[in-house]
Amino acid sequence: MTKRLRRDFLKRCGMVVAGLAGPTPPLFASQPHMVFPAQPRDRLGVASYPFRAQFHTAHNWERDHSLPTMDLKEFATMVVERFRIRNIEPLDAHFRSLDAAYLEDLRNAWEKAGVKVINIPVGGHYSFYDPDASRRARAVDFARRWVDVAVKVGSPSIRTHIAGVRGMRPDVGRAAESLRKVADYGAEKDVQINLENDDLVTEDAFFIVQVIERVAHPYLHALPDFGNSMMAGDAEFNYRAVAAMFQHAYNISHCKDGEVNGRGEFVPVDLARTFAIAKAAGYRGYFSMEWEGKGSPYDGTGRLIAESLKYLSS
């Protein structure tokens, strides 16, 4: 058989198989296979967000100049030395630059400190469900840019924000169409895309679940936050929301023992109940400490780590 005949034969065979088995999935859309640690302390990470007042960067609007400056290199060292944790979750606004040289230097510093990145929470001003296709495309491009950053610094995932559109309710169909493109790109780079219940409207837990189920992509998952859905003032709603999110979680969640609502009141989270929800869902990924509240984030994070270890060890 000549090379051309062989090529045509194989092509026809492939068409027959495709006709029998349905559409052929993209080659990159295989299920990710992360290896998660089993020891409780190894499952914990520390987010840079609670320490946001100390990061002096162009996009960090919450810098408190009365406090000493800390960069992401120092943050990693601090997490190891103070908390004996070797997993970090740096916020996008805490990166001084996205230049390749800076990212390489940052990765080398983290490796030297003996830490690894478990996720990068990413914001964004453009909405995945904007009726304007060009603005949706900008949201997709922004998320893709951070997928590239994740590759350069060794992060297995990003959390992308779902921005709102003034005067418009969230749209599952348009959001799913946009996020499928992001998930496809994440799959090409082997970077997981996560969605967090970070807002009661544009990132409502049950809206996120609808989007994830509509997309049905192995590289698009949920990032359950223990307390963000508590901002509605309804504790039972929060636990239902967290339970729904953990059904779609894969590698990362945000652990906190309470949330500050719109009136500045601290609303506590039942940690025992929430860790039980995660366990019942079969969740094996990381718990990133994202302490909220008044007082020192160092003390608060330390207490949260101690409580988390207790529940993970029981």
Domain boundaries, the chain: 40-313
Picking from 252, 286, 228, the residue whose alpha carbon sits closest to that of residue 41 is 286
pLDDT at 177 over 70: yes
pLDDT computed for residue 31 by the predictor: 74
In the chain, how many H helices and how many E strands? 9, 11
Each residue's pLDDT tens digit, 119-132? 999 999 999 999 99
Residue 139 — very low, low, confident or very high, per pLDDT cuts 50/70/90? very high
pLDDT-derived band of residue 19, with 50, 70 and 90 as boundaries? Answer: very low
Q: Residue 208 and residue 273: Cα distance in Å, rounded?
A: 22
CATH 2.40.50.140 fits 40-313, yes or no: no
- Model confidence pLDDT, tens digit, residues 186-203: 999 999 999 999 999 999
CA nearest to 289, candidates 257, 313, 256: 256
pTM equals 0.90
Q: How far is CA 226 from CA 62, 116, 242, 289, in A?
A: 22, 23, 6, 10
